[in-house]
């Protein structure tokens, strides 16, 4: 009997395509992994703190029966940070969540009691991939849930810390069977009814939808009674999250403001403020950067600087195309008083903020942008079409929400009137700017953030 006949008898004739064979092999491999896990299992479990500080329990099970158990004390609590970017580290996007992870959490929170690993996504293939960036161990986990389960079991994390919940992070945590607690940091909860209502009015370009939030909401409601604690960077965001995730009124949401790098020796107007207005952020559809460009065109008496670049892997080509009417292929501007700096950071970014009088925010939706806090730390006031926690109202002008593309005369006028007021009323601007500096130093200092975050982490560990 030839090979073809044998394959037909065994039912393999339908798997002659490469894709079919790969799917079959993948299914077979998953079955083998599950069988192996059922027969033999090695894991590390954390022990409640009431039984001893930082104790972990190593276990070997055969057919589900423990045959070897050993307890030992760890040097530190092991925390798994769930976020799908690291501010450019390991070829990730440059965004707000990644900045929080790389520049603040992983830099300032680890100490003699706390170790932080970062879990990026499930793109590791057949095995876990690892890389060390800025002294932080970063992992891309296997695509197979059984392999992820086995790897996470061996890590024995004391706590998961999530910056909001993007799709890659949700895939990791929602498919992992565990009683390990989750500390959920509310940053930008997007209620679909609120978000899509605004997003759908924009026609030039829309970012990819956040449709998976429905799954997150259902999952959060199912598990929160067992092992979820909430912290939040703003009261208005906590209100949205309570409704989205059905968080009971009696469950506290701890206030934990975002940190800001600031120069505590900075004195207002040193260096002198210029007739300069800036935009800070990714050049994406949600931000509607084209509005800043249009405002610059009708206000030639002021200089406008756009600090930012298109987000990596985030509709880069399409977002770049929306700015083609305003800039050349080499990145230079077609508008005389408009300047594209690209992505800037450190001293260069700080110098732009210090010398600017205003920062513009033209987004269709926002949480509490770090750019607001960075600007206020140097007395740069905000003119924005979005508001949170009355920050803009206290330290600038909230022009009201602007729907659509925002380039019509009425929408642009809302901005130009506010800009002209602050640029020509120096006494009022300086008075408000000094209050803004004091507010940021009191609420958003790195020292205050470090102490609060470490306390929140230790409280969340049973």
> In this structure, are 147 and 294 located in the same domain?
no
How much is the pLDDT for 270? 96
> In this structure, are 419 and 365 located in the same domain?
yes
Residue 95 contacts residue 87 (beta carbons within 8 Å)? yes
> In this structure, are 195 and 316 located in the same domain?
no
Q: Is residue 178 part of a domain?
A: yes
Looking at the DSSP bridge assignments, the partners of residue 119 are: 82, 139
Write down the residue that tokens 């607690």 correspond to: 181
> In this structure, are 178 and 287 located in the same domain?
no
Digits of tens for pLDDT over the chain (462 positions)?
555 554 554 455 555 566 666 566 666 666 666 666 667 677 777 877 777 778 777 778 787 777 777 778 888 999 999 999 999 999 998 888 999 999 999 999 999 999 999 999 999 998 999 999 999 999 999 999 999 999 999 999 999 999 999 899 999 999 998 889 999 999 999 888 888 899 999 999 988 766 667 788 888 888 876 689 999 999 999 999 999 998 989 999 999 999 999 999 999 999 999 999 999 998 999 999 999 999 999 999 999 999 999 877 778 889 999 999 999 989 899 999 999 999 999 999 999 999 999 999 999 999 999 999 999 999 999 999 999 999 999 999 999 999 999 999 999 999 999 999 999 999 999 999 999 999 999 999 999 999 999 999 999 998
Q: Is residue 271 part of a domain?
A: no
How much is the pLDDT for 10? 47
Number of structural domains (the chain) is 3
The number of angstroms, rounded, from the C-alpha of 356 to the middle of its chain's C-alpha atoms is: 27
User: In this structure, are strands 129-133 and 136-140 parallel, antiparallel, or unpaired?
Assistant: antiparallel
Nearest to 375 by CA among 389, 391, 356: 356
Q: Is residue 264 part of a domain?
A: no
> In this structure, are 28 and 84 located in the same domain?
no
Q: Is residue 398 part of a domain?
A: yes
Q: Residue 396 belongs to a domain with what CATH number?
A: 3.40.50.2000
How much is the pLDDT for 138? 98
> In this structure, are 396 and 297 located in the same domain?
yes
Beta strand spans in 176-313 (E) = 182-186, 228-232, 253-255, 276-280, 303-307
> In this structure, are 52 and 132 located in the same domain?
no
> In this structure, are 146 and 23 located in the same domain?
no
Q: Is residue 11 part of a domain?
A: no
> In this structure, are 307 and 321 located in the same domain?
yes
Give the domain extent around 39. 16-68
> In this structure, are 409 and 314 located in the same domain?
yes
How much is the pLDDT for 347? 93
> In this structure, are 322 and 377 located in the same domain?
yes
Residue 367 contacts residue 360 (beta carbons within 8 Å)? no
| DSSP structure class, residue 246 | T
Would you list the DSSP string of 377-430? Answer: HTT-EEEES--STTHHHHSEEE-----TT--SHHHHHHHHHHHHHHHH-HHHHH
Q: Is residue 128 part of a domain?
A: yes
User: In this structure, are strands 55-62 and 65-73 parallel, antiparallel, or unpaired?
Assistant: antiparallel
Q: Is residue 163 part of a domain?
A: yes
> In this structure, are 339 and 403 located in the same domain?
yes
Q: Is residue 174 part of a domain?
A: yes
Cis peptide before 271, with omega less than 30 degrees from 0? Answer: yes
């Amino acid at each position: 009997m030839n090979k073809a006949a044998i394959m037909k008898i065994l039912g393999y004739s339908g798997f002659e395509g490469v894709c079919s064979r790969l799917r079959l092999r993948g299914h077979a491999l998953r079955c083998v992994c599950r069988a192996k896990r059922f027969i033999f299992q090695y894991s590390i479990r954390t022990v409640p703190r009431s039984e001893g500080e930082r104790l972990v329990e190593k276990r070997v099970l055969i057919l589900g029966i423990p045959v070897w158990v050993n307890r030992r004390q760890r040097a530190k609590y092991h925390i798994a940070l769930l976020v799908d970017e690291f501010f450019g580290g390991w070829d990730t996007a440059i965004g707000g969540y990644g900045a929080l992870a790389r520049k603040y959490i992983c830099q300032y929170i680890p100490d003699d009691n706390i170790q932080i690993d970062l879990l990026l996504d499930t793109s590791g293939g057949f095995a876990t991939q690892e890389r060390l960036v800025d002294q932080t161990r970063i992992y891309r986990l296997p695509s197979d849930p059984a392999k992820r389960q086995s790897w996470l079991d061996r890590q024995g994390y004391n706590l998961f810390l999530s910056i909001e919940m993007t799709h890659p992070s949700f895939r990791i945590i929602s498919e992992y069977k565990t009683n390990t607690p989750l500390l959920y940091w509310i940053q930008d909860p997007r209620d679909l009814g609120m978000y899509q209502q605004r997003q759908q009015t924009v026609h030039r370009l829309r970012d990819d939808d956040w449709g998976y939030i429905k799954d997150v909401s259902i999952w959060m409601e199912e598990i929160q009674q067992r092992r979820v604690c909430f912290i939040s960077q703003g009261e208005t965001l906590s209100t949205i999250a309570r409704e989205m995730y059905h968080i009971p009124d009696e469950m506290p949401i701890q206030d934990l403001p975002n940190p800001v790098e600031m120069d505590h020796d900075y004195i207002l107007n040193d260096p002198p403020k210029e007739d300069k207005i800036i935009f800070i952020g990714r050049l994406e559809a949600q931000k509607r950067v084209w509005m800043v460009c249009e405002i610059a065109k009708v206000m030639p008496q002021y200089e406008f600087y756009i600090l930012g670049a298109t987000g990596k892997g985030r509709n880069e080509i399409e977002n770049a195309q929306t700015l083609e009417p305003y800039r050349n292929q080499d990145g230079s501007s077609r508008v005389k008083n408009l300047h594209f700096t690209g992505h800037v950071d450190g001293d260069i970014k700080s110098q732009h903020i210090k010398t600017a009088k205003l920062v513009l925010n033209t987004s269709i939706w926002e949480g509490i942008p770090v750019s607001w806090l960075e600007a206020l730390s140097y007395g740069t006031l905000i003119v924005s079409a979005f508001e949170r926690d009355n920050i803009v109202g206290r330290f600038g002008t909230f022009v009201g929400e602007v729907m659509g593309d925002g380039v019509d005369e009425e929408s642009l006028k809302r901005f130009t009137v506010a800009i002209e007021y602050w640029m020509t009323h120096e006494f009022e601007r300086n008075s408000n700017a000094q209050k803004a500096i004091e507010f940021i130093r009191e609420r958003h200092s790195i020292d205050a953030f470090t102490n609060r975050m470490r306390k929140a982490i230790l409280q969340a560990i049973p």
